Structures are given as structure tokens and as C-alpha cells.
Amino acid sequence: MSTCSVSKGCFVFKPNAKKRRLPEKTAHDFRSTSHDSEDTELRFVTCQSLWNQIKFETEQIQEDLNKQLLDNLVSFLSRSHSDFQEKTTKWTCRMKFREIPTAAVVLGVNVTDHDLTFRGLSDVLQDNITPYVALLEAKDCPAIKNLMQKLMGQLMNCDIEVDSLEDEDCVQVPQNRIRCSMLSLISWYESVTKKTDSGTPSKKRNSSSRHWQSPPVVVIFKDMESFTTKVLQDFIVISSQHIHELPLVLIFGIATSPMIIHRLLPHSVSSLLCIELFQSLSCKEHLSTIIDKLLLTSRFPFKLGEKVLQVLINIFLYHDFSVQNFIKGFQLCIVEHFYSQPLSVLCCHLVDLKKRVYSLSHAQCENIRRLPSFRRYVEKQESGKQIELLTNDSFLKKETERLLEDLYVYHENYVSILRCLHVFTSSLPKYPLGKQIRELHCACLENQVWETEEYESSLQLARMLNKTDLVSMLQQCVEILTSSSGKEFDKTVEKLKEFLTQFQNLEVAEASQERDVSVSSQKELQKKTDLYHLQKTLLELKESRRSKKLTKFEMLRFEVVDYIDRLVRKYLVPADNRTLHEIVYFNAATVLRGHLNAAPRTALHTALNNPHRYLKAFSTVVMAGEEPNADAASSDQVDDIIHARFIRAVSELELLGFIKPSKQKTDHVARLTWGGC
Amino acid sequence: MPNLEHPAYPAADLLHLESLVPCRESQVSMLLSIFGERQQFSFPSIFIYGHTSSGKTYVMQTLLTTLQLPHVFVNCVEYFTSRLLLEEILIQLQSCSGSEQTSAVHCDSLNDFVRLFKQALAARELQDQTLYIVLDRAEQLREMEANILPAFLRLQELTDRNVTVVLLSEIVWELFRPNIGCFEPFTMYFPDYSIGHLQKILSQNHPPDYSADFYSAYINILLGVFYMVCRDLKELRHLAALNFAKYCEPVVRGEANERDTRKLWKNIEPHLKKAMQTVYLREISSSQWERLQHDGGEPGQLKGLSAHTHVELPYYSKFLLIAAYLASYNPVRTDKRFFLKHHGKIRKTNFLKKHEKTSNHLLGPKPFPLDRLLAILYSIVDNRVAPTANIFSQITSLVTLQLLSIVGQNDQLDGPRYKCTVSLDFIRAIAR
């Protein structure tokens, strides 16, 4: 059992009696705490469905990303014990030492993501290779005894699970009755494989279609680094002695580098293994894909503001490299947005928008009028319209619908143009606007990107691109724009194509012209002999070179860059400038930071500023220590909630370092938790 | 002329035995004379030690099975608790007797064991033949309860039956002897195989398709390359099997005949050297090696395990690790000088005390408190670092990744102390 608490203490685990009906409860929470009870139900439902979509999408992405790794592993596993199947009696097979096939899977330091990978892996293995997969964690295996217990428990249970669906008379062996030795594991394996061999036809079809006759037993060590050397060594030595009877395959989950194998295992043990290395995708690439698929798309109505995105990315890059945490953070943003913003009810797909806008209540209309971006918008309108907007609800609704649709279109266009701009900036030397599209995205959201120095310098650099690069970039842009769903890009695509044809036409003309220019100027130079004239012509020549250097290609290049610049200025307006952006963009970075970047020191300061609460708890501890009898006597009447709060306060105090369990006598925490003395 | 002679056993068996244990004849004959005849009481306990793969287990097993002596063979690593070990011995005893599958044995203590042991022996009707209990990897016994090892050493006396316990181990008896003293077993040493022995043993089982001489020449070359680094018979045999196909290549292609030793040597030698750097060190696995051989590719294409040393870490984790390294290898007194802007003047002479002049890298990392780590972190990171919980949790995750290690007990009030466990090269790679 584990808890999410950071403090040490005693925790009570009650068996979960029934599945709680969580959704209703949360919906209720949404309602009870928000001040204006506007559309809370609907907001909650929207939030849920949106999150479900996103969750499905992320799982899909992760599956795709891990596919390569899993495929490799599966092929390795199916290869690993092929000679076990054939039972070859060839000379080499007899002479060779039977090593345990081992896959060292390097997964990177983002340990929180590994769980998902391993779950996917064991699912895939169970589907394709073998039903016998055991997942071991270091914290469950402090000694070889525990490891064997855990291993056998998992393996034998998995078999029972499979079997119990089909026949009821399988022998259910209670776990503590089995001797935890390799021999019993082997006899179990033999009985299981034999059973499937001589099973009924229906059973055989089931097993032989997916697994072989003697499927390997896969043991996955989730966190190789944390296992103690001795446990691993003993396990490997034992299993290598029985590799002939039990086709074992080990999978080491490695977070740092494969060198850890050599550090943990001496040569005498590592020589028993046949280690192959597998590497998963780097977490940065993983994140890029997630951002690309979740944020830079118009499929989801919900958007992240610049600061929020920056916070999430910073946590990822600076702290944990964990894609799971990033997605959790994203989820938090969604929930927070739908919870705190009453107008988030309008943050939905375009199809539902009209209905929702027209069913807005008056209070919600007032909410719209209070939005800063809307007020800015109103101020720009002529006075007649202003009054209409501020007083007439139905007019407001019509306007809102239009504005939201604009916002939707804006976003669609934004993404396409962003990708185009990224094509250019990602190939520039030194990447003034960042290499990754997420950096560019942040820069564009932050403020008007064309006013920044980095943009200026990247345009400068873009004006120096060579022709082949430029042409290929333009082609990429054309592809992006044609595949985008935005409707406004027909003209743009045409223009870009025109550029492309112009580039093609240039090739011949350009070369000849260049030669002409140089020849004529040379001739002129030869004619003059006068020093003054010579100087003058040289100066002229220099001048002309400076201006005339613009060949046709260069002119065209300027044109292209200017055109891109115009597109950027038109479409990459920061979202903050758009009217009603508050409805779809979540921008409360401080809230998010408060949730995700816990600062113990700040907590300590508030505790010291408001010591009342803590002192009260402290005095209770002291009192309890002094008068244990009184406490025990009155413990019958103690309210459960107060009791729980007290224990929690004690563990908080312990965490903050104000109190500390002593080792001399039964410490307060234990005594108070267990009651009595 | 057979070396092994014993009146109690038929000569044919002895001859067969001798062929099975090459280069270990003297040990076997010694053991035989200790064992004596079947009914004779032997030494209560015999302790056999010798380096890895010097044939201890193999010799014992062949000896006991060829002569059909009643015995029980148990590996102490596999039966890691005393209970499992004792029960396993009893189970083997019962199953050997050929009686019907008995119910699960329960044996929690040595007392039970002695009782059940007598019962089992009675059931087996050995007619007073000596029973041998062989405990392989006996060094594990030291980690079990204190009474296990002394009791096994005098099991003959405790059970009052004709039984001999043989302990096999890689370490010397002096490391076994308990403080309270015990019955001294008869100790026996198995020396390492010499290069000649290895040659003889390895050449013995040559592949059926090729002549013994041809294979023997191959083994000679193999030993020439590997004998310097590896004397493990099992490992050598494995390597021999792995690379033999390559050795035969010129013969198969008809470029050389079996006697063309020089040509064959030229072909195989670089290959073996490469194998020493890769397969032998488990840089690449033997199946990968075989596939490479089969495809005729260069081993350079496959990166070994140690090629993947680079570890990608989050931004602050990198700095934390660097700070930890600095804290581990710099004396505390130098902190002020290195990490403070206005550290004042320091006299150059005698700044370092004498004992500090020895390289800190030779001395290994020193523990440092958490506060020092954080102070160094704040001074080496350019911008301000907020001391959030994320930073602290990163320290913990570095500990779980075994890049840092925690020293002493985990006490909230005293503040934890850490050590940096990574090498300078690693830090250099990170700091880049």
C-alpha cells in the first residue's frame, strides 16, 4: 500500500467498499463552490467530455510513439527462445553456454512516464508472446525471498485468472502454501504448459493461435537502478541454473545509462546474460509530439495562454522531463478554466456554439460585458452600436457568436501560418526564434512577434537563404497550407506557387545577365585613363554594385520574405489582442504555479505568520505526552474527524521539522495513532 | 594404466570415471580414499574450495553419480533460507527412495530436520551405506542462522547415521569459521586448471564434422588470445563455440585446408581480439555477435553498452548534480573562495593543508549536508532559483537513480547528508 503523502506517519487503509460515484460528486462540487451558479452542470459536462477526448488522444499518441520500441522488444522476445522450441542437438548448441536472454530498455530519467510504457509493454506481450509476465519493483523486493514471492504470486495468479474463466476445477493454491523456490516455479510451468498442450480443442485454439507451445516467462525489472546488487545477482544465478527447464526472459528498465548493468553485476554474473539494448524515444521528442497534436490543432476548443504554457514547459524542461506530469498539468488547466471561468461554457466545438450562445442567461451576458477584451472591443465601436451591445442581450449574443467564430477561424489560420513560419525559422543558423515549434508558438503568443529583435534578425537571415533551401521551404509551406482546413489560404497558396514558378524561370536568365553586367563595367574601366575619372568611375562602380547587386533572384527573395512577413503580421496576432479570448484561452499562470510549484519555504512563512494553528496542534502533542492517561480515558468520546485532523497536523509538523519522533520511548505519533499507551 | 584404484569399486567404473574427469585424477583418488568403502564411515564433513570453474561441482557430481553412491545435491544460493534448504534435502531424500509422492515436508528447525532425516533414511533402506550431502556454494550458509553451519559440520554425530556432508565453496575455510568455534572439516583444495589442462579439456569434445587435431589447433589459438584475461572454463568453451564457425570459414570456402594453420590463424586472430573487446565484456550479446558473423557485417555498426553513457537530465538536475559533485570533492573551506564574489584575500602559501594536497579523486566522494548543496546550486545557476518542492523532489529522484546516495539515517531535523556517486567524466559530459 502506498500513499501520496510526503510525510511519514501511520495511515489507515480502508478497503474500498464500492466504486464511488465520482462524477456526480464532482459536479456537485462545481456547483456548490462557484459563486454564480451559471451553467455549472453544462460546464462540468463539457469539461469532462473535452478531457476524455484529450485523454484518448494522448493515449493514442503514446501508443504510436512506443510502437517502435514495443515491436523491437516483441521480435527480440520471439527470437530469444527459439532454440528452446526446436530443442536442437547441434554441436554448437550443446557447447554454448545457455545465457538468459535479457533486454536492457533505456527509458530516460522521466521515471513517472515509465509506468505507462511498462503497462503497454506487458499488454502487448500478453497479447502476442506469452501470458506469463511479471512486473517487479525494487521497493517490493528488498531480499531474494520477497522477489521470489512476488514473482510467483504474479505468475501463478495470472494463470489462475486466465483459467478460471474457462474451467472451474483448477486447483487454487493459496500463495503462502507454495514453497518459494525455483523448483516449484518450474513444476508449475511444466504443469501449465502441459495442460495447454493436452487441453480441449477449444482451449487449444485459444492459446496456440497467440502463444507458442512453451511460451517464455518474462520478468520485468521496472527500476533496475534501485534493486540491490545481491538480490539481482542471486536471482540471475538461480535462474541461469534452470534456464533449460524454464525459458526465462529478463527485461531491465533502465533510467540512466546501460552502464548501470556493469556497475550492479560483476562479470561472473553478467556473463550469464545475453544482453541486448533497446532505447525508447527521448522525452523531449515525446513532448514535442504531444504539443504538436494537442495544442497546435484546432480540434480542441480549449487553448493554453502563453504564460501557462511557459509554466508547464518550464516544469518539464527544468525539473522532471515527465510527459505524464505535463499532461496532468494540462488537465489541471482544463479543470481550472472550466471551474473558474463561468463563460467557459462557450468553450465548445463550433457545432454546439450557436445553441449555447443563444441559451445564455442575462447574468452570463453581463459576464461577457465585463470581459476586458470585450470592453476594449466595445470602446472601438460607434456609439449606437456601443449602446446596443451594452443593453440589448440578443444583439450581444449575435455579436458574440460572430466573434467566437472569428476566434475559431483565427486559430485555424494561426496554426497553419505558425507552421509555415517554423519551416523558415527552424533552418536558420543559430535559431534566433528557437528550434522547436513550441518556442515559436510561445514567442507568438507572448506579444506581436514582428516587433521583437529575434524576428528582425531571423528575417535578415532569411534574406540570405540560398535558392535550393528557399524553394524547398516554399514547397513545404504550400503543403502545409493546402492540407490545412482554413479557407482563406487559396490565394496564399497560389501566390506561393507563383513564386515557385518564378524561381524556376530564373535559372537561365540570371546567369547570362550577371555576365553581361560584369563585362560592360570592365570595358568602361579600361577606357578611362585619367586619374580623376578613374576614381570617379570606381566610386560609381562601387555604388552601382551596392545597389545593382540585387539580381533578379535577390529581388524575388526579398519579395518572398516580405510576403511571409505580411502573412505573419496578418495571422500571428497574439491571442490576447483578440476579442473574447478569455473564453477559450486559459491564462491564470499564477494559479497554476501555485498548484504545481509548491514552495515549502513559503508555506513555512505563512505558518510562522499565523502560528496559532500550529501552536494549537503543538500544545495538543505536548499535552498528550504529559497526560497519556487522560487521553486514553477520553479516547472513547474522541470525534473521528478531530482525531484525523490531529494526526494530520502531527505529520505536517513532522514534515516541517518542528517535532521529531524520538526513538527512546514509544513516540507520540505511534502512541496517539494506535491509541492507548 | 588407470590412476584410480580402489578395491571397493569395479575397475570398469573407475576407468569410466577417469575419462570423465580429465586433469582432476589426483583429487578424485584422494576423495575416493577418504570415502572408503560404501559401508565405511567417512569424515563427518569435507570442505572443498577452489577458484571459479575449477571443477568442484562437476567432479563431485560425476563421482557420486558414476559410482552410484547415495547422495543429495543442493545449491545454497537457490535455497536461500534455512527452511527451504532443509526441506529440499528431505524432499530429495524422499524422492530418491522411489516411494510415492509424499506430502509437503515441514521442517522449521534443525531439531525437526534431524528427526525427519532419520525417518527418511530409515525409509530408504540404504543398508548403512554412506549418504553424501553436497552443499554447493556453501558460503551462503554463513548468512543463515548461526546454528546451521556448525550443525551440518557434525551432522554425523547429531543424527548418529552414516552421513558425510561435503561443502563446496570458492572461499577459504578461514572465512567460514564461526566465532564460537565448531567442528573442523577436512579441507581440500582444487587448484586452477593450467593452460595445458584447459587445452586438454577444451579439445576433448570436438565437433563431429571436424577432426580432433583441427579443433585442437583452434583451441590453441583461442587460448593464446583469451588466456590472459579469462581462465574460466565455461566462458572459454562458450567463446570457442561462438567463434568456431568463423575459424572454419576458409576451409568451407575451400581457400585453405585443415592443415593450413598459418592461414587459419591470420583469419581468426583479429576476429578473436574483437570478440575479447565486445562479447567477452558483454558489450554486445552473443546472439548479436553470431548474427553479425552470419551477416558478415562489421562489429563497429553495433554500439556496445558502454557507448550509451550519455544521460539526458532536466536543467536543474544537471546543476544539482554538478553542485553535488563540487560539494563532494571540494573541501568546505574552499567554498567561500570559489562561490562568493567578495571572498577577501587568501594567502597563497599553505592555503591547502598537507593532507588536502592528495588528490580528492583518489580519496573518493565525501558526504555533505543538504544546505551546502543548495547554497552551491544557488551560486552556480545564473538566474534566481526558487526553492520549490520540485527542486527537493529532484534531489530525491537523483538518489533513486543512484547518481547521489544518501548517507546516514534519514532524520528530518538534522538534515540529510548526501554523497555524489558519479565520476568526473560523467560530470564533464553533463556540464557541456
pLDDT per residue as tens digits for the range B348-364: 555 556 666 667 778 88
Distance CA A609, CA B266 (A): 82
Question: What is residue A33's predicted lDDT score, i.e. its pLDDT?
Answer: 47
- Of A219, A222, A218, A217, nearest to A137 (Cα)? A222
Helices (H), A199-245: 201-210, 229-241
Please indicate if any CB of chain A lies within 8 Å of the CB of B293.
Answer: no
CB-CB under 8 Å, B311 with A109:
yes
- Cβ-based neighbours of B11, under 8 Å, separated by 6 or more: B2
Question: What is residue B169's predicted lDDT score, i.e. its pLDDT?
Answer: 93
The verdict on B213 and B247 lying in the same domain is yes
Would you tell me which residues 641-660 of chain A have a C-beta closer than 8 angstroms to some C-beta of chain B? 654-655, 657, 660
CB-CB under 8 Å, A97 with B285:
no
The verdict on B140 and B272 lying in the same domain is no
Could you tell me the CATH number of the domain that includes residue B367?
1.10.10
The verdict on B154 and B199 lying in the same domain is no
Mean of all residue pLDDT scores within chain A:
77
Order of strands, sheet of A100-106, starting from the edge strand that comes earlier in the sequence: A133-136, A217-221, A248-254, A100-106, A273-279
Chain A residue nearest residue B87, CA to CA: A179
The verdict on B18 and B143 lying in the same domain is yes
Taking each helix axis as running N to C, give the angle between helix A393-425 and helix A552-571, from 0 to 180 degrees, rounded to the nearest 10. 150
Q: Which domain holds residue B408?
A: 315-340+361-431
Task: State what percent of residues in chain B have pLDDT above 90.
Answer: 11
The verdict on B292 and B319 lying in the same domain is no
Chain B residue nearest residue A82, CA to CA: B287
CB-CB under 8 Å, B412 with A180:
no
Q: Which residue has the higher pLDDT, A117 or A629?
A: A117
A105 φ, ψ (degrees, to nearest 5): -105, 110
Distance CA A340, CA A344 (A): 8
Q: What is the mean pLDDT of residues A579-599?
A: 84
The verdict on B158 and B56 lying in the same domain is yes
CB-CB under 8 Å, A99 with B285:
yes
Question: What is residue B217's predicted lDDT score, i.e. its pLDDT?
Answer: 87
Q: What are the tens digits of pLDDT across the range B34-82?
A: 888 888 888 899 999 998 888 899 999 999 998 888 889 998 888 888 8
Order of strands, sheet of B71-75, starting from the edge strand that comes earlier in the sequence: B71-75, B131-136, B163-169, B45-50, B186-190
- Of A414, A453, A415, nearest to A432 (Cα)? A453
pLDDT band at residue A635 using 50, 70 and 90 as cut-offs: very low
Secondary structure (H, E, C), A407-468: HHHHHHHHHHHHHHHHHHHCCCCCCCCCCCHHHHHHHHHHCCHHHCHHHHHHHHHHCCCCHH
All residues of chain B having their beta carbon less than 8 Å from the beta carbon of residue A226 are 400, 402
- Domain assignment present for residue B335? The answer is yes
Please indicate if any CB of chain B lies within 8 Å of the CB of A79.
Answer: yes
| Boundary of a domain, candidates B157, B189, B221 | B189
Please indicate if any CB of chain A lies within 8 Å of the CB of B386.
Answer: yes
CA dist list (Å): A241 to A95, A269, A412, B286: 16, 12, 63, 18
Q: What is the mean pLDDT of residues A157-161?
A: 60
Question: What is residue B240's predicted lDDT score, i.e. its pLDDT?
Answer: 86
Distance CA B30, CA A617 (A): 77
Q: Which amino acid is at B209?
A: D
Distance CA A217, CA A250 (A): 8
Task: Check pLDDT > 70 for residue A626.
Answer: no
CB-CB under 8 Å, B401 with A145:
no
Would you tell me which residues 77-96 of chain B have a C-beta closer than 8 angstroms to some C-beta of chain A? 77-81, 84, 87-88
Q: What are the tens digits of pLDDT across the range A414-469?
A: 888 888 888 888 888 888 888 888 888 888 888 888 888 888 888 888 888 888 88
All residues of chain A having their beta carbon less than 8 Å from the beta carbon of residue B386 are 597, 599
CB-CB under 8 Å, B287 with A276:
yes
Task: Check pLDDT > 50 for residue A175.
Answer: no
Chain B residue nearest residue A99, CA to CA: B286
Please indicate if any CB of chain A lies within 8 Å of the CB of B52.
Answer: yes
CB pairs under 8 A between A and B: 163
Question: What is residue A633's predicted lDDT score, i.e. its pLDDT?
Answer: 42
The verdict on B202 and B161 lying in the same domain is no
Distance CA B296, CA B408 (A): 54
The verdict on B36 and B161 lying in the same domain is yes
The verdict on B60 and B83 lying in the same domain is yes
- Domain assignment present for residue B352? The answer is no
CB-CB under 8 Å, A260 with B402:
yes
- Domain assignment present for residue B345? The answer is no
CB-CB under 8 Å, B244 with A601:
no
- A470 grid coordinates: 528557399
Question: What is residue A345's predicted lDDT score, i.e. its pLDDT?
Answer: 84
Please indicate if any CB of chain B lies within 8 Å of the CB of A226.
Answer: yes
Distance CA A84, CA A82 (A): 5
pLDDT band at residue A677 using 50, 70 and 90 as cut-offs: very low
Distance CA B101, CA B94 (A): 8
Q: What is the mean pLDDT of residues A391-411?
A: 88
CB atoms within 10 A of CB A259: 16
Out of A277, A318, A601, the one facing B305 most closely (by C-beta) is A277
All residues of chain B having their beta carbon less than 8 Å from the beta carbon of residue A271 are 232, 235, 282
Out of B237, B242, B403, the one facing A256 most closely (by C-beta) is B403
Q: What is the mean pLDDT of residues A48-54?
A: 91
Please indicate if any CB of chain B lies within 8 Å of the CB of A241.
Answer: yes
H-helix or E-strand containing B371? Answer: helix B370-380
> How many domains does the structure of chain B reveal?
3
| Boundary of a domain, candidates B131, B165, B189 | B189
CB-CB under 8 Å, B311 with A600:
no
Q: What is the mean pLDDT of residues A526-533?
A: 66
Please indicate if any CB of chain A lies within 8 Å of the CB of B388.
Answer: yes
Q: What is the mean pLDDT of residues B16-27?
A: 86
Check if the beta carbon of residue A313 is closer than 8 Å to that of residue A368. no
Question: What is residue B296's predicted lDDT score, i.e. its pLDDT?
Answer: 65
Q: What is the mean pLDDT of residues A288-302?
A: 87
All residues of chain B having their beta carbon less than 8 Å from the beta carbon of residue A275 are 282, 285, 305
Question: What is residue B276's predicted lDDT score, i.e. its pLDDT?
Answer: 81
Task: State what percent of residues in chain A have pLDDT above 70.
Answer: 74
Q: From the candidates A319, A604, A650, A654, which should be mutated to test the interface with B, based on the most B CB atoms within 10 A?
A: A319
Please indicate if any CB of chain B lies within 8 Å of the CB of A109.
Answer: yes
- Domain assignment present for residue B30? The answer is yes
All residues of chain B having their beta carbon less than 8 Å from the beta carbon of residue A104 are 305
- Domain assignment present for residue B355? The answer is no
Please indicate if any CB of chain B lies within 8 Å of the CB of A615.
Answer: no
- Domain assignment present for residue B351? The answer is no
The verdict on B162 and B224 lying in the same domain is no
- Domain assignment present for residue B2? The answer is no
Helices (H), A463-551: 467-483, 489-527, 531-548
Could you tell me the CATH number of the domain that includes residue B157?
3.40.50.300
Distance CA B323, CA B373 (A): 6
Please indicate if any CB of chain B lies within 8 Å of the CB of A283.
Answer: yes
CB-CB under 8 Å, A181 with B394:
no
All residues of chain B having their beta carbon less than 8 Å from the beta carbon of residue A315 are 390
The verdict on B250 and B334 lying in the same domain is no
CB-CB under 8 Å, A275 with B285:
yes
Please indicate if any CB of chain B lies within 8 Å of the CB of A183.
Answer: yes
CB-CB under 8 Å, A655 with B309:
no
Query: Nearest C-alpha of chain B: how many angstroms from A275?
Result: 5
CA dist list (Å): B430 to A122, B310, B424: 33, 8, 10
- Domain assignment present for residue B5? The answer is no
CB-CB under 8 Å, B400 with A320:
no
A436 φ, ψ (degrees, to nearest 5): -85, 155
All residues of chain A having their beta carbon less than 8 Å from the beta carbon of residue B77 are 234, 237-238
| Boundary of a domain, candidates B189, B214, B240 | B189
Q: What are the tens digits of pLDDT across the range A238-289?
A: 888 888 888 889 999 998 888 888 888 888 888 888 888 888 888 888 899 9
Q: What are the tens digits of pLDDT across the range A58-75?
A: 989 888 888 888 898 888
The verdict on B27 and B95 lying in the same domain is yes
Please indicate if any CB of chain A lies within 8 Å of the CB of B349.
Answer: no
Task: Check pLDDT > 50 for residue B418.
Answer: yes
Q: What are the tens digits of pLDDT across the range B73-127?
A: 998 888 888 888 888 888 888 876 555 555 567 788 888 899 888 888 888 777 7
